[in-house]
Structure 1
Amino acid sequence: MSTDTAVRTAVVFVHGLLERRPMDIFDDFAKTVLPRRDGHWEYYPQPVEITDSYEARRYTVPSARTDIYEYDWSFLMTGPRYAGFIAALARLFLRRPSNVPDQLFGIWRAAWLVLIVPLTALVGVLVVGGWYLQSGVAGWIIGLVTSVVVLSIALAVLRMAPRALLRSFLTTGFVNAARYFDLLAPESHVVRRAIRGGLVDLLYTLQQGRYARIVLVGHGLGGCIAYDALTALWAETHELRAVPAERPEGLGSLRGLEAAADRLTAEPDSAGALDEFQAAQFDLWQDVRGQGNPWRITDFVTVGTPMALADFFVGRPPILGGLSRGDGRRHDLFDKLTREGVVVRCPPRSEALPVDAAGVGPASFGFDGVLGAQSPFAVTRWTNIWFPVRRGSMRGDWFGGLLRPLFGPGVREIAVSGNLPERLRPGVPQIKYFKYPDRDAEGDVAFHLREVLALEDLSGLDVSVNAPEPDPATVERVVYRSWQRSM
C-alpha cells in the first residue's frame, strides 16, 4: 500500500432532514468542515463505486487526502408520515413543568399558552353572552353575535394550527424522529432495518478499502441512524482478528482504558479525566487494528441530534408518566435498555455485569484479548455539538442537547457559543449548523467541526495501515451483509 493511501481518511455524513433538495446539506457540510483556500473550497465530485445505491454521493479533498461520503436515507423513509407522532408529542407535553427537558420548556410553555388563552377567552365570552340572555333583547343579540364570532375564530384556529404546525420545518425533525422510532407500526420496523442496513453496508465496505481512518458524522436524526449502524456493525465485527488473542502483547492498552474509564466515572465533570479517556480510546483502537480487526472508525460526531430526548423516543415512558411528582420512571426504563444491551454507553457498561445488576461497576470491556459486543466506544471517541437553549427560552436548537446524562460521561460535549445571531432565532438553528462555513472563529460550528475531525492531522495512523487483514476463521464465524441475510 502506498503512502498516499496509507493515511487516507473517509468522512461519512448522515443528514438529518427528510424534506430537502438533494446535495444541499451535503455541500454545506463539506464547506463547513474544510477551510477555504485561495478564495474557494478545494473539493471535487467523484462517483461512488462501492455501493449499489444510486443516491450516494462523494467528494474528494486532495489536500487533506480525504473522501467525504453522504449517506442518503430519505428514499427509504416510507410508511405513514405521522406514525408515532401523537404518542411522542403527548409524552413530551403532558408533563409537569419540572419534568420538561430544558431545551423544550420554552416551546412547551408557549404551546400551552396558545391553547389555554383562546379557550379561556372563549369561555369568558360565552359566560358574558349567557349573562346577556337574562338582560333583554339587545344584550341577547350582542351576546349571540359575539359568541358566534369568537367560536368561529376558535374553531378555525384549532383546525388550522395543527396542520400548519405539522407541516412546519420547525417540527420536521421531531416528526421524523417519532416516525423512525415508532415501535408499534410494522412499517417502521421495515424502514429502520432498511435504513440501518444500508449504512452498515457502506461502513463495512469502506473498512475493507484503502482508508486508514473513518469519521462518522450524524446531523439531527442522522445521529440516531449513525449510532444504530455503528453499534450494529461493531456487534458483527468486534471478534474478527488475524492473530491469536493469546499473543504476549495482546491488547496492551486495554487496562489503561479501563482505569481511565473508572476515573471518568468517578469524576464525570473532570476535563482532564475525559482527555485521558479519549487518549486511551485511540491507543486501544491502534491495538485492535494491530490484531487485524477491520474497525477503522476512530470518531463519532453528533450535531444537533434528538438523541438528547432518547429516553422519550427509545425508552417510551407511559404517556401520563410525566404528570407524577417524580420522573424517575423514564430514567429507569432507559437504564433498563442499557442493561439489556439495546443502548450502549460511553464509556461502555462493564461486560462482566449481568443484565439485572444495577450501577456501572468496575470497567471490564474485554475477555481473552477480544473486546465485548457492548464496547464500540472503547475504541471510538464520541463528540456532541449543539446550539444550547436556556431553560424557558425558545432561542436555540430545541432538539439538540446534552447526551452525557443518558449516554455517559465519555461523550465530549460542545455547546456552540458562536454563530450569533443565527443560533438565537427560535427553532431555526436545527437547520443552520452548516449554513455559515465562512464563520470559523473560536466558538463557531465550523471551528469545532474542523478541530474534532482533524482532517489535516495525519499523525498516529501508521499502525492501522500495516495491520493484517481479519480472518473470520479465527473466531469461527462469518459476517454476512444485509443483502445476504435477506436471501
Structure 2
Amino acid sequence: MKQAIVIMHGMGEQVPMSTLNSFVHSVWTTDDNLVDQGKPDPKTGGARGGNASWAKPDSRNNSTELRRVTTERDASGHYTDFYEYYWAHLMQGNTWEHVKSWIQDLLLRNPFTRVPARVFHAWVVLWLIALVVIAVTLYGMWPKEDAVEPWVSFVVPLLGLGLAAFVSNVLIKRFGDVARYAKAWPPNVAKRHAIRQAGVDLLIRLIDSKDSKGNEEYDRIVVVAHSLGTIVAYDILAMVFDHYNGKFDSSKSQPERDKLEQMIGDALTSGKLDIDAFQVQQAAALAEARDHGAPWKITDFVTLGSPLTHAEFLMAESPEDLRARQARRNLPTCPPVMEFDGTTKLHHFTYSGKADRKPSDPRTPHHAAPFAYTRWTNLFSPEKYILTGDLISGPVGETFGSNGKGGLIQGIRDIAVLPRLDLQGQIAPGHRRSGFSHNNYWNMGKGTETDTVVVPHHIEELRKAVGILR
C-alpha cells in the first residue's frame, strides 16, 4: 500500500518545490531508520547516500511547476508519495491598503480584553513601530524655519529608507498574506475562496485516487502545514470533511466510535483527557470507519509554527467570539463539539435518524468532527523577548479544545521544540534557547542541543508526528 504526505507552505513569496524538497530531505532522505541501510542504492547499485526518491510530474498537482516526490519501499513495505500544496501564486498583488486595514484592526482594540497576554508585548512593539512611522512622516511634512542639525538630516532619511524597506519586504510581501487571508473582508473573499478550493480539490483527488487495478491508491494521507499554511490547511480539512462525513456507513456496528464518544464524554465531565489514549482511540475509530467503507483517510494533521495559537486575535473578535464560533460548529475543535441527544440522554459528535436509537447504534459524524478521526500534533518554538523562539507559534490545544462541565479538555498534542522543554515548562537539560526559529522546524542544521547530536530533537519529533514507518 501507499501513503501520501501533503506539505502546505507558509506566508511569503515561496518558490515552488522549495519547501517540499527540504522537507523530504529531513523526514525521508536522511532518516536511516526508514530503509535497511545494507541494501544497495536503487539509483547507483552502490553504497547508499540516503534513502532514494524520485520527482515525477503528476496531474493531481494541477500545476506544471510542481512534481510528486515518490520513494523507494520502506522497511514496513510501503511507498510514500510527497505532494506540495502550493498557493503563493494565488496571493499575489498584496498592497499597503490590504496591510493597513489589518494593522489598524490589530492596533485599535482594547488591550485588556482583546489582546491575548502572550502577545501583549508584541502588540506594544507594533504600536511603537506605528508611532515611529507617524513621527518620521510628520517630521518630513512639518515646515522648518531654521536649518536642522546635520545629524538629523542624516538620520531621518535613513529611518525613512529603513521603514520603507520594512513595509515593502516584511509587511506587504509577508504579513500581507496574513492580512488578506485571516479576515473575511470583501476585498479578501475571492482570494480566500480560491486558495481553499484549490486545496480541497487536491485532497479530494488524492482521497478518491485509484490505481491501475481500480483499487484505492492511498490507504493513508498526512497533512503537514507551516505558519500561515496551518490556517489554510485547517480550513481545507474542515471543508473536505464536510464533503465526506455523510458518506460514513451508518448501518454497521461501531463499537470503537462508541468508545471514543464515551471517552470524550467522560473527559468533558471530569475535565481530564489522556491525549495518548485519545489518539489511540481516534486511530481505532478511523480504522473501524475505513473497514466499513468510509472514504476519510487523513490520519494525521501536523502543524509547525502555527499562528492558530492566536486564533482569538486573528480569526475572531474576542475569546468569547471564538468559543461561540466553535460551539456553532463553524470552527472544528479537537475533540469535536459534542451535542446532547434527547433520546440517548448522552452527548455525541454523531447523529442518527432512528426514533428508538440507543447509544451504541450506528451513527454518522456531524460536519465539524474531522478531529474525531484525525490526530492533530502541533510543534511550536517557545518565544521570549520576541527575537528568540517563534512568536508566531505556540500551543493550540487550549485554543481548539472543547468545553464541558469539568472545564476545557485538549485533544491536540502540543510539543515544544527549539528548544525542548521539560515537564515543568523549563528548558530541558542539554538545550539552549534559539534565535528566531520560525523557519527551522525541518532544518537539520538548526537544533538547540548544546552537545553534538546526529538528529536534532525537533527533527525527531517531526518524524514521529508524520509517522512514515507504520
Shorter chain as normaliser: what TM range?
A: 0.7 to 0.9
| CA apart distance, 1:16 | 0.8
8 Å CA contact 1:83, 1:182 repeated in 2: no
From the two aligned structures, give the one with the greater helix fraction. 1
| CA apart distance, 1:176 | 1.2
Separation in 2, partners of 1:336, 1:161: 42
Q: TM-score, normalised by structure 1?
A: 0.73
Counterpart residue type for residue 297 of structure 1: I
| CA apart distance, 1:9 | 1.0
Separation in 2, partners of 1:296, 1:67: 15
384, 389, 398: which one aligns with 2:391: 398
Separation in 2, partners of 1:399, 1:119: 25
CA gap of 1:352–1:166, structure 2 versus 1, over 3 A, is farther
8 Å CA contact 1:224, 1:306 repeated in 2: yes
Residue by residue over 1:170-217, the C-alpha shift from the partner in whole angstroms, topping out at 9 and shown as x without a partner, is 88543211111232234x222111111111111111112311100001
| CA apart distance, 1:146 | 4.6
1:303 aligns with 2:326: no
| Match in the other structure for 1:358 | none
8 Å CA contact 1:418, 1:442 repeated in 2: no
CA gap of 1:206–1:437, structure 2 versus 1, over 3 A, is farther
| Map 1:246-285 → 2, pairs under 5 A | 246-247=251-252, 249=253, 251-265=254-268, 273-285=274-286
Residue by residue over 1:102-156, the C-alpha shift from the partner in whole angstroms, topping out at 9 and shown as x without a partner, is 5544544445556668999999x9xxxxxxxxxxxxxxx9x94456864x56753
| Match in the other structure for 1:19 | 13
233, 243, 260: which one aligns with 1:226: 233
Separation in 2, partners of 1:172, 1:398: 19
CA gap of 1:83–1:456, structure 2 versus 1, over 3 A, is farther
Separation in 1, partners of 2:454, 2:106: 36
| Match in the other structure for 1:89 | 103
| Match in the other structure for 2:358 | none
| Match in the other structure for 2:185 | 184
Separation in 2, partners of 1:234, 1:79: 31
8 Å CA contact 2:94, 2:172 repeated in 1: no
Counterpart residue type for residue 399 of structure 2: L
| CA apart distance, 1:165 | 1.9
| Match in the other structure for 1:425 | 435
| Map 1:138-153 → 2, pairs under 5 A | 144-146=146-148, 150=152, 152=153
Separation in 2, partners of 1:86, 1:421: 39
CA gap of 1:438–1:104, structure 2 versus 1, over 3 A, is closer
Separation in 1, partners of 2:170, 2:431: 19
Separation in 2, partners of 1:365, 1:118: 50
| Map 1:204-243 → 2, pairs under 5 A | 204-209=204-209, 210-241=217-248
| Match in the other structure for 1:70 | 84
Separation in 2, partners of 1:376, 1:122: 49
CA gap of 1:53–1:21, structure 2 versus 1, over 3 A, is closer
Percent of aligned pairs with the same residue?
A: 28
1:449 aligns with 2:437: no
| Match in the other structure for 1:464 | none
CA gap of 1:102–1:46, structure 2 versus 1, over 3 A, is farther
Task: Find the residue that maps to 2:348 and give its secondary structure.
Answer: coil
The 10-residue stretch of structure 1 (339-348 or 258-267) with the greater mean CA deviation from structure 2 = 258-267
| CA apart distance, 1:435 | 2.5
| CA apart distance, 1:257 | 0.9
8 Å CA contact 2:11, 2:178 repeated in 1: no
The 10-residue stretch of structure 1 (173-182 or 22-31) with the greater mean CA deviation from structure 2 = 173-182
| Match in the other structure for 2:333 | 345
CA gap of 1:62–1:441, structure 2 versus 1, over 3 A, is same
8 Å CA contact 1:43, 1:61 repeated in 2: yes
Counterpart residue type for residue 238 of structure 1: N
| Match in the other structure for 1:174 | 175
Task: Find the residue that maps to 1:63 and give its secondary structure.
Answer: coil
Unaligned runs of 5+ in 1: 126-140, 318-329, 355-360, 458-487
Counterpart residue type for residue 54 of structure 1: T
| Match in the other structure for 1:434 | 442
Separation in 2, partners of 1:194, 1:114: 33
Separation in 1, partners of 2:220, 2:285: 14
| CA apart distance, 1:52 | 3.1
Unaligned runs of 5+ in 2: 33-47, 210-216, 353-362, 402-409, 421-429, 448-452
CA gap of 1:366–1:441, structure 2 versus 1, over 3 A, is farther
| Match in the other structure for 1:132 | none
8 Å CA contact 1:84, 1:179 repeated in 2: yes
Q: TM-score, normalised by structure 2?
A: 0.76
Residue by residue over 1:28-75, the C-alpha shift from the partner in whole angstroms, topping out at 9 and shown as x without a partner, is 111121234444342211221334332332111213311111111112
The 10-residue stretch of structure 1 (276-285 or 70-79) with the greater mean CA deviation from structure 2 = 70-79
Task: Find the residue that maps to 2:63 and give its secondary structure.
Answer: coil
Pick the structure with greater CA Rg: 1
Residue by residue over 1:286-331, the C-alpha shift from the partner in whole angstroms, topping out at 9 and shown as x without a partner, is 121122111000001111122122222221x3xxxxxxxxxxxx11
336, 348, 352: which one aligns with 1:364: 348
| CA apart distance, 1:351 | 4.0
Separation in 1, partners of 2:184, 2:301: 26
| CA apart distance, 1:385 | 0.8
| Match in the other structure for 2:39 | none
